[in-house]
Chain A
Amino acid sequence: MSTRRIFARPARYAAIAPYLWMALFFLVPFGLVLKISLSQTAIAQPPYTPVFDLSEGWQALKAAFEELSLDNFRLLLSDNLYILSYLRSLVVAATSTLILILIGYPIAYGMARLPQRWQGLAMTLVIVPFWTSFLIRVYAWINILQHDGLFNRILLALHLVSEPVTWLSTDTAMYIGIVYSYLPFMILPLYATLAKMDRALLEAAEDLGASPWKAFWLVTFPLSLPGVGAGVLLCFIPIVGEFVIPDLLAGSNSLMIGQTLWLEFFTNKDWPVASAVAIALLLLLVPPLVLYDRLQRRQVEGRH
């Protein structure tokens, strides 16, 4: 009863705000895109039919509704360009996420074990790249990786290679760009879970006969899994839809789904197919989200 009181009327209205936000900036645009994905392309303004026009009355609206079809989605399934793009996106995202875990975990672990007064500084160092625009940072990589770029010059100076290596327009360059850009999103949730871990647990494990390495695998790692899950989610999903990095750093022979979408939209001016690609991408990302949610819930239920 008293908790009811605390959430008095103004507070209850404030609780609506996030829903309003979601409705306005997610549901409405989603509805629009969904509608366009069911339309047909046309040389017109806007470049698709039918167009819902409320001014022409109920009958016209009904007719327009009947014109909607799943043709664009059928196209996605029939042309393996799209399926290959989706697959490539998933493979790139999965590979990058794995690399991110392998690099991010040791960094986060090291940060969490620093003396308290150094942890703030380490955290700042992780976040500092955000102060520069994302696009500029990716362009900087072009500069570093180009034929006579910094990277090649270092390799030559160290006599690791005898002539410049082609980095740009390769998957390697793309992975470098993706891992570099998403590393903070992997480190921060990992660091958060590792930093709050009770060090007495490790001592207990060692006291009970576990070597430091064993203690890490039996105690620290399982207890950090929620952080790993959060990091994976924060990286995997945006990487699947990544456009800028593959467009600037990878070759043009195979495309990620974001690039395909861009092509359909800007080059082919085919808004309906582009919208269908977007909707399909969204649907593709629902299963991993549901799976993650399930795992989280199971963990919470296991505790209570």
Chain B
Amino acid sequence: MAEELANSASHSTTEKTVPQRVTDMPLLRIEGITKRFGNFSAVNQLSLDIRAGEFFALLGPSGCGKTTLLRMLAGFEAPDEGHILLAGRDIAQVMPHERPVNIMFQNYALFPHLSVYDNIAFGLRRAGMERGEIATRVAEMVTLVKLEGMEKRKPDQLSGGQRQRVALARSLARRPQVLLLDEPLAALDKKLRESTQAELMELQRRLGMTFIIVTHDQEEAMAMASRIGVMDAGCLAQVATPRDLYEAPASRWVAEFVGDVNLFEGQVISREHGRLKVTTREAGIITVAEPRQPVTKETVTVAVRPEKIKLSRRGLASGVDALQAINRFEGEVAAINYLGGLTAYRIRLDNGAVVRSVMANTARLDLDGYGSSERVAAWFAPDDGMVLQQ
């Protein structure tokens, strides 16, 4: 057991492995679901499959419909169209108290008149569980979220972090097939949020439960989820692993929403040897690797993440490796933002365009940093340019 945990823990830091319980039929299948409020479609013809044991994140700006989608899964909103299949059964019109799904609310919604024990036992009592069994299960949950000795307290005698744990324990107590989490960490301060992220992941792995989390915080989604669905205006803009979302966004909107990005718009002028040449207004001719999906459009956007744009002085003396120096622009440092681990530069190119570059501060002594107004060459490798067609 301990070995297993140690193993999975070491995995988790580098790559989130999809749990073994994955089967062909998804645990949760959302089919063409639509929810309208008046004339406004909060969720519009959305389809999504979620497998058992996944840690799935719904990410999007506020008002994108992610909370509405979650509330439809919990049963608080009935979809106007579409189906929600949980283990093959359509639950779209099933009342919330009859669904094998539980939700952890953003503001926790703990019952203020009940003790920690009674809050956690609430769902078990409704399920008609026996006294002894309830006591065992509550004790188990209390241990799980490390709240031993707090059972008799009322919610307002707890700190924010403790309340969050009670809410989690309460929603887990019934062992739901799917646990929904609505911005579960939003009310915690930064340090607590980070440690809680790790605990949530650990918990999810240990219980082998399916978690669906709604968040507007992309770092949170990236750090925890095995897959992320990015929502925009009631639709899914992309569903992918965190890495694919970042390194292969499906659209310009996703590229801009997830992380920081430099965008160069231009026309495709040639395609040869797996290389694409794009002529752009901001940066002249750019060479990028041809993407997996065939490029059908003439006008494309080349997106480059700031950390992939490297700076050098030597580039000015044309000493850079010829292969990598294909996309090379000259300019001067316009702004420097020192962020501790990283330094963000804004480079004003000679043609007036501004390019952002982020460099890791890998050494303590700043021997190689760039000064304000210093002339530099900014360059990126063809593989680091992402071709976006929409």
Contacts and interface: CB of A to CB of B under 8 A. Distances in A.
B182 to A, nearest CB: 10
Interface of A: 198, 200-201, 203-212, 214-215, 218-219, 222-223, 302-304
Contacts of B156: 303-304
Contact of B113 (A206, A208, A223): A223
B97 A201 contact: no
B123 A203 contact: no
A207 B96 contact: yes
Interface string B85-98: 00000000001110
Interface string B108-119: 011111000000
B126 A200 contact: no
Contacts of A222: 113
Contact of A207 (B102, B110, B111): B102
B122 A205 contact: yes
Given A222-B113, A303-B154, A207 B74 contact: yes
A200 B109 contact: yes
Given A208-B171, A208-B174, A212-B97, 10 more contacts: A200-B105, A201-B109, A203-B96, A204-B105, A204-B111, A205-B122, A208-B122, A210-B97, A218-B122, A304-B157
Q: Ordered nearest first, which 10 A-B pairs have the shortest CB separation? A: A209-B126, A208-B123, A200-B109, A204-B109, A206-B96, A206-B97, A209-B97, A222-B113, A208-B122, A210-B126
Interface of B: 74-76, 95-97, 101-103, 105, 107, 109-113, 122-123, 126-127, 154, 156-157, 170-171, 174
Given A214-B126, A302-B154, A203 B97 contact: no
Contact of A203 (B76, B101, B127): B76
Given A206-B96, A210-B126, A219 B157 contact: no
A223 B127 CA distance: 23
A208 B105 contact: no
Nearest to B173: A208
A209 B111 contact: no
Contacts of B103: 203-204, 207
A208 B107 contact: no
B154 A207 contact: no
B235 to A, nearest CB: 26
Contacts of A223: 112-113
B109 A203 contact: yes
Contacts of A203: 74, 76, 96, 103, 105, 109
Contacts of A201: 109, 111-112
A200 B112 CA distance: 12
A244 B122 CA distance: 49
A201 to B, nearest CB: 5
A204 B111 CA distance: 9
Nearest to B113: A222
A206 B112 contact: no
16 contacts: A201-B109, A203-B103, A203-B105, A203-B109, A204-B103, A204-B105, A205-B122, A206-B96, A206-B97, A207-B74, A209-B97, A218-B122, A219-B111, A222-B113, A303-B112, A304-B156
Nearest to A210: B126
A79 B122 CA distance: 55
Given A198-B109, A203-B96, A304-B156, A208 B74 contact: no
Contacts of B157: 303-304
Contacts of A209: 97, 123, 126-127, 174
A208 B109 contact: no
A222 B122 CA distance: 14
A90 B105 CA distance: 46
B38 to A, nearest CB: 13
